[in-house]
Amino acid sequence: MDLITNLETAFAYLIVGAPALLVVVLGLCLLFERPLSERTTCQLVATVLSVGFISALAMSGCAWLHGMPQRTVPLGDWVVVSGYKFSGKLLFDWLSLLFLVLSFMLCGVIGRFATHYLHREPGFHRFFVLFAVFVFGMTLTSIAGTIETLFTGWELVGLSSALLVAFFQDRSAPVRNGLRVWSVYRISDAALLIGAVALHGMKGFGDFQALFGETAWPHGEPRLLASQALLVGVLFAVAAAGKSALVPFSGWLPRAMEGPTPSSAIFYGALSVHLGAFLLLRAGPLISLSIPLCVLLVVWGLATAALSASAARVQSDIKSALAFASLTQVGLIVAEIGLGLRWIPLIHMIGHASLRTLQFVRAPNLLQDYRSMENAMGRRLPHSINAPRRVLRSRWQRWFYRWALERGYFDEFLNEFIVRPFLSMFRWFDSLERRWTDFLSSRPSRESDEIKPHSDLVEEFV
């Protein structure tokens, strides 16, 4: 039994250490401007992902053979204060193991695809550094045993995602869209951080085992009151909405398609877009305590699915159409979680992530095939009539088309009622600070003439 325990611990450290080593090696080579050759980079990425995948399968095999309900590997206490403890822990149960195997498998597929897709691209090595950060972040998030560990991986995934949206930095649109993605992620991260602080304020720790009981997932006995579960659950739901692009945050998803196709496939078709649903599954025992929270998730998920299904039908490019089709399924997964299901949304997530990855990878060749067929036929291929066109009258068709094209007008709502008020408030604070410094220095500051008008700031953000 001790041998099995030692093997499980070794596999756990390999699962975390292999992606961390990849980040360090590729990052140092890029930092000191001595990047590896493309062939060496490809071999290193393939080796690391293979080691992680085999270790995850071995860990899953141990769990299957020996009936391991859940296995923990402590990473030590990070901060210990009277009444509070911030610690790191790795938690291996069926939720984390299945999601971990899925992450390594799909990252391996996309890593192999990216080596050919980005061949001789000037940012080839920069892509794989950010890709390695993403893999490490997904690994930490998948097997996080505490809210602190999960938040660390959550941040790494968000950082690599926003930087890869702005990958083609010689153009202004990717940079602007990367800033938009990062801004929405900040809202999501703030909600998750507040939820973590609330948990520490209620219990003094963020250990999932201590919070949800020793019973293995999907069962659990939360040690929180219903009102406390509602508060923390709503914060987690907002965090999931920002990360998974649920309404009203869906507007950043088509903007994220500015990144390379490999990152679009692994982030917004497969893994990152499902991370919000994974968080809700991890907090499933807590969600089950509050009926209003379950109703909220069902309504939120169905509203997202309806909006995304409509928006996907009016997109003019295949990547955006696939992204909204992916979001439709994510909305349904969230609704399934709200209905109290656990295994069904997990299986739905695994199957959908695998399918959507293959669709994103196939998309460039599909366009070429369609173009060849149309050239051979001498005309455009026929398109099927959508259901709304058969049911709605002509005047409602135009309204519905405009509503879907504008993605429910949620972008304009956020710009008008959140972005503009925040920018106005910060400009007002900035003007007060400058008046105070001008008064103390008895002369106007040089920066006063360089402040952009409020409308310009909004347009630049949007």
Q: What is the DSSP string of 214-228?
A: SSPTT-----S-HHH
**C-alpha distances in angstroms, 306 versus 254, 331, 410?**
16, 8, 14
Tokens for 178? 């990367």
Average pLDDT for residues 58-86, to the nearest whole number? Answer: 76
Q: Where are the alpha helices (DSSP H) in 32-123?
A: 38-66, 94-117
pLDDT band at residue 318 using 50, 70 and 90 as cut-offs: confident
pLDDT at 83: 64
* Cα-Cα-Cα-Cα dihedral sign, residues 115, 155, 180, 348: positive
CA distance 50 to 6: 21
pLDDT at 444: 67
Residues 351-391 have pLDDT tens digits of: 999 999 988 888 877 777 777 776 777 666 666 555 555 55
Tokens for 201? 């304020």
Which 8-state DSSP code applies to residue 417?
I
pLDDT at 384: 54
pLDDT at 154: 95
pLDDT band at residue 236 using 50, 70 and 90 as cut-offs: very high
Which 8-state DSSP code applies to residue 415?
I
Asked whether the predicted pLDDT for residue 300 surpasses 90, the reply is: yes
Check residues 72 and 142 and name the one with the higher pLDDT: 142
Residues 320-359 have pLDDT tens digits of: 888 899 999 999 999 999 999 999 999 999 999 999 998 8
Check residues 95 and 7 and name the one with the higher pLDDT: 95
The answer for residues whose C-beta is within 8 angstroms of residue 293's C-beta and 6 or more apart is: 229, 230, 233, 234, 237, 287, 338
Check residues 239 and 82 and name the one with the higher pLDDT: 239
Task: Return mean pLDDT, the chain.
Answer: 85
pLDDT band at residue 394 using 50, 70 and 90 as cut-offs: low
Give the other-Cβ count within 10 Å of 339's Cβ. 14
Asked whether the predicted pLDDT for residue 26 surpasses 70, the reply is: yes
Give the other-Cβ count within 10 Å of 337's Cβ. 29
Tokens for 208? 């999932």
pLDDT at 180: 87
What is the residue type of 12?
A
Query: Which of 359, 376, 379 has its CA nearest to residue 318?
Result: 359
User: Which helix (H) or strand (E) element contains residue 124?
Assistant: helix 124-142
Check residues 113 and 387 and name the one with the higher pLDDT: 113
CA distance 109 to 374: 30
Check residues 339 and 258 and name the one with the higher pLDDT: 339
CA distance 254 to 8: 41
pLDDT band at residue 1 using 50, 70 and 90 as cut-offs: low
Of the listed ranges 99-108, 114-123, 264-273, 433-442, the least confidently predicted one is 433-442
Query: Which of 353, 305, 310 has its CA nearest to residue 331?
Result: 305
